[in-house]
Amino acid sequence: MKQLIIIGAGGFGREMMAWARRSTAGWPVKGFLDDNLSALEGFGRSVPLLGRVGEYQPEADDVFTCAMGRVEFKRRCVEQILARGGVFPPFVHASAEVGDHVQLGAGVILCPHTVVTSDVRLGDYVTVNLHSTVAHDAVIGRWSQLHCHVDITGGVVLGEGVLVGSHASILPGVKVGDGAVIGAGSVVTRDVPAGATVFGVPARTLVKREAGND
């Protein structure tokens, strides 16, 4: 039987351990990888911290999920494991609702009570956190992170590495460029350029930087 290794032993990683008990795949958790070898001290977890990410050699029955919120850290850790032959299947909690004609890329995480409706594409290593919704015909680029209670409405397109803060809403048909940041609680009514940080109701640009300079 496959065994799940969680990359990242911080708060999100510990949440993922609890949610693994109700993942659709039912993999037992083998342990964590984290460059901070004391990350689990004081938390009383029953599974071990197996070592640093860059030092771990995947075994035949290992599958991986990366529970990190910062895109640049997540990308680096995933690429280290991929280079050694590691596999990142989608992780789908049993309470997640997934509709028809939904494409889930490698390493996608659908947390409890998420909804992905129909004709949606989620790129590799996208995270959809608690109680968030991705509506029909939306496209979410690889490495993007949706925090809790996010509302991605119909036909929205997010580029790569987009961060959407909790309780933000992106209205139908809006396009968000690579590396943009949507502030918590914002309502995005028009397109957002790559590298921009927007915030407010309606969302306005606070910062503009070059995409990819993580």
User: Active-site residue among 101, 113, 131, 147?
Assistant: 131
Query: What does the pLDDT look like over 124-158, one tens digit per residue?
Result: 999 999 999 999 999 999 999 999 999 999 999 99
Q: Do domains 3-88 and 92-203 have the same CATH topology?
A: no
Distance, in Å, from the CA atom of 51 to the CA atom of 56, rounded to the nearest integer, reads 7
* CB neighbours of residue 69 within 10 Å: 15
Q: Which residues of 91-116 are buried (b: 16+ CB within 10 A; e: fewer)?
A: bbbeebebeeebebbbbbbbbebbbb
State the Rg of the chain over Cα. 17
The C-alpha angle 127, 44, 30, rounded to 5 degrees, equals 55
Query: Which CATH number is associated with domain 92-203?
Result: 2.160.10.10
Spatial CA neighbour of 182 closest among 201, 193, 168, 202:
168
Give percent of the chain with pLDDT exceeding 90: 87
Spatial CA neighbour of 145 closest among 123, 118, 174:
123
Q: How confident is the model at residue 208 (pLDDT cuts 50, 70, 90)?
A: low
For residue 131, indicate whether it is catalytic. yes
**Which CATH fold topology does 3-88 show?**
Rossmann fold (3.40.50)
Domain locations in the chain as residue ranges: 3-88, 92-203
